[in-house]
């Protein structure tokens, strides 16, 4: 499930491979992957344009075109962006194919079709892409004084996992990394944010930054289902560093207690009942 570290890994790959390249053709075959405009409209706004740079905000990938417009991808659950050559056979569920004038191809593959691509004029972001416009603190991109983070956390009365996965507060964390962050911070998923001591807020703040940076260094997490791969189809390595996620019944690496799994908001949550308080 691509979260910030996985999306950042793909961003770096995309920027290295496609910045400066000019789009020759766009082929959209998936019915749902382009849904904010007609397929023709997206094609018209992208063909002939050059990829200037590739940015990321939270879990959104933003390709800045030389027209000033943004070609945006959100991978949701199962989306993949893959570099290929036109002659390699297209995997099942390939919905969008972008060809470049110098050769080379970018493919959007997405079995569950939750993911999407759209073009937006950044001047009209608030009206046309509020989810992208209203993102909160990006722990990799934005420097935030920890006292500002403390103000944010203490002003709310939310379970910590809700707060961490709320994209308008912290941009980029999902189910896996929120569990990992909370374990590093030694805090339970259901602790109410306004009950934290300043020391605990500081631990949480540092844990977010630490986990995100280490996961980016490891090129993200690939689970058993191999859903996430980078632009070259290669798996990440951070799953080997997971302390709690998908480790129920195993020993907590910090205190050796048994890691538990529980249902929380319809999602699996993994935590150590002993050293997370």
Would you count residue 161 as binding DNA (CB under 7 A)? no
Would you count residue 213 as binding DNA (CB under 7 A)? no
Q: By C-beta, is 23 or 173 nearer to DNA?
A: 173
Binding residue for DNA, selected from 48, 162, 186, 202, defined by CB under 7 A:
162
CB of 251 to DNA, least distance (A): 20
The one catalytic residue among 45, 56, 57, 59 = 59
| CB crowding 203-222: b at 16 or more within 10 Å, else e | bbbebbbebbeebbebbbbb
Local structure of 147: helix, strand or coil: helix
Answer for the pair 173, 4: CB distance below 8 angstroms, yes or no: yes
Would you count residue 89 as binding DNA (CB under 7 A)? no
Structure tokens at 226: 């191999």
Phi-psi bin for 104: left (phi > 0), alpha (psi -120 to 50), beta?
left
CB of 198 to DNA, least distance (A): 22
Residues 17-46 that bind DNA (CB under 7 A): 32
Half-sphere exposure of residue 196, counting CA atoms within 13 Å on the CB side?
A: 33
Q: By C-beta, is 74 or 107 nearer to DNA?
A: 74
CA distances from 243 to 3, 68, 169, 227 (A): 17, 42, 24, 20
CB of 127 to DNA, least distance (A): 13
Answer for the pair 1, 246: CB distance below 8 angstroms, yes or no: no
Would you count residue 240 as binding DNA (CB under 7 A)? no
Active site residue 3: yes
Q: Quote the Cα angle for 180-182-187, to 5°.
A: 150
Would you count residue 124 as binding DNA (CB under 7 A)? no
Which stretch in 62-70, 146-154, 174-182, 230-238 sits in contact with DNA by CB under 7 A?
Answer: 174-182
Total residues at interface with DNA (CB under 7 A): 29
Q: Provide the binding-site residues for DNA, judged by CB under 7 A.
A: 1, 3, 32, 58-59, 74, 76-77, 92-93, 111-114, 131, 157-158, 162, 165, 167, 174-176, 224-225, 265-268
């Amino acid at each position: 499930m691509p979260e910030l570290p996985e999306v950042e890994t793909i961003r770096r790959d995309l920027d290295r491979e496609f910045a400066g390249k000019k789009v020759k053709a766009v082929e959209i075959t998936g019915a749902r992957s382009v849904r904010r405009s007609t397929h023709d409209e997206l094609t018209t706004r992208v063909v002939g344009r050059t990829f200037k740079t590739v940015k990321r905000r939270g879990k959104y990938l933003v390709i800045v075109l030389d027209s000033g417009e943004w070609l945006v991808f959100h991978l949701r659950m199962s989306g993949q962006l893959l570099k290929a050559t036109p002659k390699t056979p297209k995997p099942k569920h390939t919905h969008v194919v972008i060809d470049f004038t110098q050769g080379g191809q970018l493919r959007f593959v997405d079995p569950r079709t939750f993911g999407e691509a759209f073009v937006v004029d950044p001047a009209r972001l608030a009206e046309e892409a509020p989810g992208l416009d209203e993102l909160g603190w990006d722990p990799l991109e934005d420097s935030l004084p920890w006292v500002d983070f403390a103000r944010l956390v203490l002003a709310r009365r939310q379970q910590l996992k809700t707060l961490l996965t709320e994209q308008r507060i912290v941009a980029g964390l999902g189910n896996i990394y929120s569990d990992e962050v909370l374990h590093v911070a030694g805090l339970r998923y259901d602790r109410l944010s306004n009950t934290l001591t300043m020391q605990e807020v500081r631990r949480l703040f540092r844990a977010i930054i630490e986990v995100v940076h280490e996961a980016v260094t490891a090129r993200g997490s690939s689970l058993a289902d191999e859903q996430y791969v980078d632009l070259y189809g290669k798996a990440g390595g951070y799953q080997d560093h997971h302390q709690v996620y998908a480790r129920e019944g195993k020993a907590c690496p910090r205190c050796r207690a048994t890691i538990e799994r529980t249902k929380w908001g319809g999602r699996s949550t993994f935590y150590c009942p002993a050293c997370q308080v």
